[in-house]
Amino acid sequence: MFAIITTNLLRRSARTVFTALGIAVGVAMIVALLSFTQGLKETAAGLVHLGGSDLGVFQANVSDPTASILPDSLVGRLAASPDVAQATPLLLIVEGLKQDQSAIVFGADRAGFFTRGLVLIAGRPPLRGAPEVLLGDRLARSLRLPSGGVLSIHGRYYRVAGIYHSGILFEDSGAVLSLAQAQALVGRPGEVTDVVVQLATGARASSAAQRIEHSFPGTQVITDPQQALRAGANGTLISKAVLVIVVIALIVGSISVANTMAMSIMERQGELGLLSTVGWSPLRVASLILGEGIAVSVLGAAGGLLLGVIGGGLLVGALGVSAYVAPSVTAWGLGRGLLVGVAIGVLGGIYPAWRVTRMRPLRALSAARG
């Protein structure tokens, strides 16, 4: 059976290639979107756990966590909470670097655990009060800017005192200023974007989050990546987009396979009728047609998996958003793309296979001679 399927597909190679290519495009879009979704989850985890924190306190009901505005006086009150071991404020400056609009500049308290957790791999800490900045190693490589170089932030120039590494995508793709300098730069004295918190020993993040939100009305506490995605709505939008693309791929791909197989049946009436006369049951002939549809879909799905993995990375690089999200391909993501491809073959092959079972062998032979 497998040999017959392979021979039939190769005999009509152009039609097979074009059908598989259409399926590949749909599967590639699914794989790319799934990899973006996973990448967003991992990026959101970095946003939640900046500086190795257990949770982040943001302004409630904002369109995006980076748009949050909180008074920095909140830090002392949070630090006094029995659930909190340490609290430090952060001011996030988005699109502040002309050289890389996707990079984030962090205004951070020099004495806070966020700054203390940065591992210097070149240079030295900034001098107090000096117009100096620390640069993440990923951003330093991207800009080819060494320690001692000059970085422009919002039109003001800062000397790169040192290069750091933290292991968190957001941080390593950004830069760090002192909190006071960042507030003065963007004209937000006394304001921060969020307060990152390390919990006291024995405190549970979910319980502490509820108590903090109750004690500080107007705040929202984000403890896991899913909450960060919901707060920004990006993850929900991409998840819905994946669902829409899956449905469209199933519909369009199934129609394409059904059309290809129906045309194949019309061209091969004599061959199929002959198979029936030599002892092939209608179910076996239908299995042959269904198998050909699935084989075309699997070929398309394999190409789509490769295209989705490569294309996702190229797209992020072309758009210059690698600091925000890096596609993350998982086995389950690839598996779902392959399942969609197989489903297209099954759905698209059902009608042609059913049609074959209704075919009368002698009539098919006579139609082929005519």
Give per-residue pLDDT as tens, 226-248: 665 555 545 555 566 667 777 87
Q: Give the mean pLDDT of the chain.
A: 83
Angle, CA 43 vertex, CA 38 and CA 44 arms, to 5°: 95
pTM of the model: 0.62
Neighbouring residues of 355: CB distance < 8 A, sequence distance ≥ 6: 262, 265
Phi-psi region of 148 (alpha: psi -120 to 50; beta: other; left: phi over 0): left
Banded pLDDT at 362 (limits 50, 70, 90): very low
Whether pLDDT at 80 is above 50? yes
Let me know: does 128 contact 110? Beta carbons within 8 Å.
Answer: yes
Identify which has the larger pLDDT, 362 or 210. 210
User: What are the pLDDT digits (tens) for 165-193?
Assistant: 998 877 898 999 999 999 999 999 999 99
How far apart are the C-alpha atoms of 33 and 369, rounded to whole Å?
50
Cβ-Cβ contacts under 8 Å for 358 (sequence gap 6 or more): none
Q: What is the pLDDT of residue 242?
A: 66
Calculate the CA 370 to chain-centre distance. Answer: 56
Task: Tell me what pLDDT residue 240 has.
Answer: 62
- Partners of 153 in the beta sheet? 97, 156
> What's the rounded mean pLDDT across residues 299-318?
82
Using an 8 Å Cβ cutoff, are 286 and 353 in contact?
Answer: yes
d(CA 69, CA 57): 10
Q: Give the mean pLDDT of 39-54.
A: 72
Higher-pLDDT residue of 11 and 369 is 11
The structural domains of the chain, with segments of one domain joined by +, span 2-44+235-369, 55-222
Number of C-beta neighbours around residue 99 at 10 A:
13
Rounded Cα–Cα distance for residues 271 and 275 (Å): 6
For residue range 244-280, what is the model confidence (pLDDT) as tens digits? 777 877 788 888 888 887 777 777 776 776 677 777 7
The whole-angstrom separation of Cα 335 and Cα 331 is: 6
